Amino acid sequence: MTKFRTLLPLAVTVAVAACGGSGSDSGSDTSQPTASEKTTMTLGVSDAPVSNVRAVNIVIDGIVLKKGQEQLSFKTKDEDGNPVSINLLDYTGDEIFPLLTDVELESGEYEWLRANIINGTSADNLALGSHLIFNDDSQVALDVKRKGNDGVGEIQINNVVVNEGDNAFVLEFDLNRSLVTPQNGSTVYLKPTAIRLENIQTTFTVSGSVAEDLKQACITDSSELAPEQGEYKHVVYLYSEQAEQPEDIFETEPVDTNSPIATSTLDENNEFAIGFIPADNYQIGYSCLGHIDDVEVKDTDFTLYQQKELAVSADVTMAFESAS
């Protein structure tokens, strides 16, 4: 079951102010929907976990939807009037930070939904902008790679359909697929193209575990690819049923069907959870080679150690069993 997780007063004190306004390319004010056209939308934020960091703080300064020549804007502020800051690692699997709750808008097709992000490099104080905190407590700025003017990053989801009645969506940040760490420099980048917008009411959670001896067998059989520093990274990858040769994370345009749709790093209990997956047939695999899976590079040495077919029509719990 999807959980809207609330941490003390933070999530419930987010002030959401809807304001009709004109976009920079519009020149026309947003008209208010009539009573007969009004519907509601709830929007949350969640993520698939990543290793080696203890906080991924993203600062969101508002949500904008564009329909025709009109734009509808919703400010997202905390109780002190600042843009809301969310540690994505607090909302993994099917847990959600409620960013907007039951806001009113017109039903229909929207050209795009955009989340405005305060990039870390644009903030006078890093704590007030998006940033990462690594396990060793070092901190670096987090910037959205596709950014507009004034240091504001933009996460844009195209072709959003809002149905009549109540709608519930989630922005799913797959951090394994979206975080890019350059070899030189002190800024980590977030790729907006790896972020999904899903309808909570028509999606499900795939969760499960990986046997410890299967992990150890993968490590033994992959000794020539051992990390120079640190540990092996154990990741579960979800693919389309059409993937003929499932591969590592590598973005192409158009999207390669052999690339994963979603991922989840194993936790300390060898468990994983991939949230907000539409009903369909998939392939799912486990690998201990997540440490060589560079988001920006096609890693020819990458392989899945165990692979299964998976049908999703409800929440699914599964296991990658012993290697014996």
In the chain, domain spans: 3-190, 206-320
- Looking at residue 22, its pLDDT comes to 33
> What is the pTM for the complete model shown?
0.81
Closest CA to 94 of 284, 264, 242, 210: 264
- Cis bond before residue 254 (omega within 30° of 0): yes
289: Cβ–Cβ under 8 A, 6 or more apart, which residues?
218, 222, 225, 232, 233, 299, 301, 302, 303
Low-confidence residues of the chain, pLDDT below 70? 1-37, 146-151, 252-254, 323-324
- Looking at residue 34, its pLDDT comes to 46
Burial 200-216 (b: 16+ CB within 10 A, else e): beebbbbbbbbbeebbe
- Looking at residue 257, its pLDDT comes to 87
When the candidates are 2.60.40.10, 3.90.1570.10, 3.40.50.2300, 3.40.50.970, the CATH number that belongs to 206-320 is 2.60.40.10
For the chain, how many residues are written? Answer: 324
